[in-house]
Structure 1
Amino acid sequence: MTTEEGPQADALRWAAGRVGDAARVVSATGLREGGNPWMLRIEHDGRTTEVVLKTAALDGGEGMATEVAALLLANRAGVPAPRILAVDADGEAAGTRAVLETALRGRSRIPLVATPERLRGLGAAAAALNAVTTEPSPVLPQRTRPISASDFARDRREGRESSTPLLDAADERVNGLPAPDGAPVLVHGDLWQGNTMWDGDRLTGLLDWDMAGVGHYGIDLSSLRLDAALTFGPDAAGPVLEGWEERFGGEAEDVAYWDAVAALNLPGDMAEFVPAVHDQGRTDLSAKELNARRDAFLRAALDRL
């Protein structure tokens, strides 16, 4: 379990012990709005090592099991991502479910302006990941949309989420289409710039794999296209696709369908996502601007369907 002050003492002792016998944690910094996961600085053998500690409640470890399975697969395939250092799957030693990962170099902050190199790099990273073919499993489930933990389109249909005429019409249109076929590949499932690390315009890794699974490559590709359009404007989606196709070595199919699916799995009012966007440095973006950019992206997808 974590608190506002930081991870509990048992989790810190467990993490330090995985680094060395006489190691000790000298600082724990929250990486998401001041909380979990935590960047730990650990002193041992006369030097300091930085690692990332993620914790989960004892009754809610599904996402952690998914993250571990996805990272092991991604590491074997050479996808830039953290490496697993240790796992306490049942919380017996750490007092909570915990996983310890290597810390990646760089920053996840989203710049005000993106270079073409950054945008193409986003697409290329998704293509490298989506080249990993695999089959669904209990820890890597079948995915049909990004952000599997939420289904905003369903919630709007059932009256639990605010909607607009555009969102309702788009949902009806997309639901009337068959889901595209494609080879089952590893998908990150929550691929936006807040889950990427950068050293300048060089992407150093993909973070936060708890919504990973197996599905169509369009899930990740369109997630990044949408995120680029939200943060940099509609023209930014094009270079993301260019980078994906260049790295993948072929033309992406059914992009309009997956663009629409990605846009529909956002809240009716983007105010819900504003804190996360601001936490990544884009305090200039308001809910009004994000709503307008989401709607423009969705209309463009519908025009191509």
Structure 2
Amino acid sequence: MLSEEILSWVTAAIGGDARVATVTGLREQANPWLVRFAPAARVEAAVLRLGDPTDPEHRQRFATEVAALRLAGDHGLPAARLIATDLDGAAAGVPAVLTTVLPGHSRIPPVASPERLRGLGATAAALQSVPLTPRTALPRRTRSIADVDFAAQRREKGTTALLAEAEDRLSRLPVPEGPTVFVHGDLWFGNTLWSGDRCTGLVDWDCAGAGPPGIDLGSARFDAALMFGLPAAEQVLEGWQRAANRRADQVAYWDVVAALGTLADMAFCVPALHDQGRTDLDAGILGQRRDAFLGNALRRLDATGLSGR
């Protein structure tokens, strides 16, 4: 499944007499890859992430991933450690990043305990403890998955009255002032690893950057509501506030921002959820839960006086 050039780069990065034993796709049986080595190797396994050498955006995302992993390591955050990087593909033939393997798994259970939900909030809070000034590899972020223009896609593919209202109201409001911190930029259960109810790590850092803490908190709350229903979002908030030892700011605003990171038809995210074990979820259920979360957030915006009307 991987070229000899890539495998040679991997074994050289591991060193010694490393020999690849197996390669397994971690997302829908494809990239990134779990590479296991023969027993004599100095490490048992590593995670290999590959990019497209013809796509400049892939290079930027890889540069962001590497910068984020380095920063996470510097601050003891739950992230893999870098083994080797080849951002221009000069040695591997394609852009490549090789990291350590974190314990745990990303499978999403059909029911989440309060401890797991609060743990997701606490993980988001750990990131907001790291002040960060925007830089080339970790740019300014104002929403999750910042390189995807969901608003443009809705204009092309169609929207709903609720999404259109939310987008219009948000456009009339300034981005809330506050600290600029390290953000993951795509914080959902599929990008977290768990051992029981303990979060053992965050993966897929290519949307990371510098931005308001509400980006990750809103994303985590929204995903919890999609996976488990609206009350789950409050457990995430409780975990965040406990870990941060303060009340979160502008929660309703960032909830709206998170919900607007979708298309009218939620079928676009179903394959990723099924890959994580949630085959009970379909576009209809997800759409209903998205609308319940977004409607609730808009009502809370009205209550705070930040209606955007």
Scaled by the length of structure 1, the TM-score of the pair is 0.95
> For 2:97, what is the secondary structure of its paired residue?
strand
> Counterpart of 2:59?
61
Q: CA deviation at 1:46?
A: 5.9
Give 1:286's match in structure 2, choosing from 255, 269, 282: 282
Partners of 2:39 and 2:107 in 1: CA distance: 30
Instruction: State whether structure 2 residue 66 is matched by structure 1 residue 77.
Output: no
More displaced stretch, 46-55 vs 182-191: 46-55
Cα deviation digits, residues 47-92 of structure 1 (max 9, x gap): 7611000011123311010000011001111110100110012111
Unaligned runs of 5+ in 2: 302-309
> For 1:7, what is the secondary structure of its paired residue?
coil
Q: CA deviation at 1:21?
A: 2.6
> Counterpart of 2:254?
258
Q: Match for 2:176: what amino acid?
A: P
> For 1:146, what is the secondary structure of its paired residue?
coil
Partners of 1:178 and 1:303 in 2: CA distance: 18
> Counterpart of 1:132?
130
> For 2:44, what is the secondary structure of its paired residue?
strand
Q: Match for 1:273: what amino acid?
A: C
CA RMSD of the aligned region, Å? Answer: 1.1
> For 1:40, what is the secondary structure of its paired residue?
strand
> Counterpart of 1:39?
34
Give 1:221's match in structure 2, choosing from 208, 217, 236: 217
Kept after mapping to 2: 8 A contact 1:80/1:205 = yes
Kept after mapping to 1: 8 A contact 2:125/2:241 = yes
> For 2:177, what is the secondary structure of its paired residue?
coil
Identity of aligned residues (%): 54
Cα deviation digits, residues 210-240 of structure 1 (max 9, x gap): 0101100100001000000000001000010
Q: Match for 1:151: what amino acid?
A: D
Give 1:212's match in structure 2, choosing from 179, 193, 208: 208
Partners of 2:103 and 2:192 in 1: CA distance: 11
Q: Describe the shift of the 1:47–1:179 C-alpha distance in structure 2 as closer, same or farther (beyond 3 A).
A: closer
Runs of 4 or more consecutive aligned structure 1 residues displaced over 4 Å after TM superposition: none
Scaled by the length of structure 2, the TM-score of the pair is 0.94
Kept after mapping to 2: 8 A contact 1:152/1:161 = no
Partners of 1:128 and 1:7 in 2: CA distance: 36
